[in-house]
Amino acid sequence: MSTLTRKQREIRDRERQILVIARQMLLERGYLGLNMDRIAEAIGYSKGTVYQHFSSKEDLLAALCVQTKQKRVEFFEKAARFEGRPRERMTAIALGDEMFVAQFPDYSRSEELLNIESIFAKASECQQQAMRDVEARCIGAVCGIASDAVTCGDMTMPEGSNIYDMCFGLYGMSFGCRVAGKICTTLHELMSPDTLEVLRKNQQALLDGWGWRPLSSEWDYAATRRRAAAEAFHAEPAAVTHNSN
Partner DNA sequence: CATGAATGAGCCTTCATTCAT
Partner DNA sequence: TATGAATGAAGGCTCATTCAT
- What is the contact surface with DNA in residues (CB under 7 A)? 3, 7, 10-11, 14, 32-38, 45-49, 51-52, 55-58
One of 21, 36, 43, 139 touching a copy of itself (CB under 8 A): 139
Q: Which range, of 12-20, 38-46, 171-179, 225-233, touches a copy of itself by CB under 8 A?
A: 171-179
One of 11, 102, 126, 184 touching a copy of itself (CB under 8 A): 184
For residues 107 and 125, what is the distance between their CA atoms, to the nearest angstrom?
22
3-class DSSP state of 46: coil
Query: Binding marks (x or -) toward a copy of itself, 16..55, rule CB under 8 A?
Result: --------------xxx-----------------------
Among candidate residues 240, 244, 224, 214, the one with its CA nearest the CA of residue 82: 224
CB of 48 to DNA, least distance (A): 2
78 binds a copy of itself (CB under 8 A): no
User: Which of the listed partners (DNA, a copy of itself, none) does 14 bind, with a CB threshold of 5 to 8 Å by partner kind?
Assistant: DNA
Side chain identity at residue 219, one-letter code:
W
Torsion sign, CA atoms 221, 224, 228, 230: positive
CB of 131 to DNA, least distance (A): 18
Give residue 163's Cα distance to chain centre: 20
User: Which of the listed partners (a copy of itself, DNA, none) does 30 bind, with a CB threshold of 5 to 8 Å by partner kind?
Assistant: a copy of itself
**Whose Cβ is closer to a copy of itself: residue 13's or residue 112's?**
112
Let me know: does 243 contact 194? Beta carbons within 8 Å.
Answer: yes
61 binds a copy of itself (CB under 8 A): no
Let me know: does 66 contact 23? Beta carbons within 8 Å.
Answer: no
CB of 182 to a copy of itself, least distance (A): 6
Neighbouring CB atoms inside 10 A of 148's CB total: 18
**Whose Cβ is closer to a copy of itself: residue 197's or residue 231's?**
197
Residue 76: partners with Cβ closer than 8 Å, 6 or more residues away: 93, 96, 97, 100, 137, 138, 141, 142
Among candidate residues 103, 30, 37, 26, the one with its CA nearest the CA of residue 65: 26
CB of 234 to a copy of itself, least distance (A): 28
180 binds a copy of itself (CB under 8 A): yes
Distances in Å between the alpha carbon of 218 and those of 11, 166, 208, 244? Answer: 53, 21, 10, 16
Q: Which residues form the interface with a copy of itself (CB under 8 A)?
A: 30-32, 109, 111-118, 132, 135-136, 139, 143, 160-162, 164-169, 171-187, 190-192, 195, 198-199, 201-202, 204-210, 243
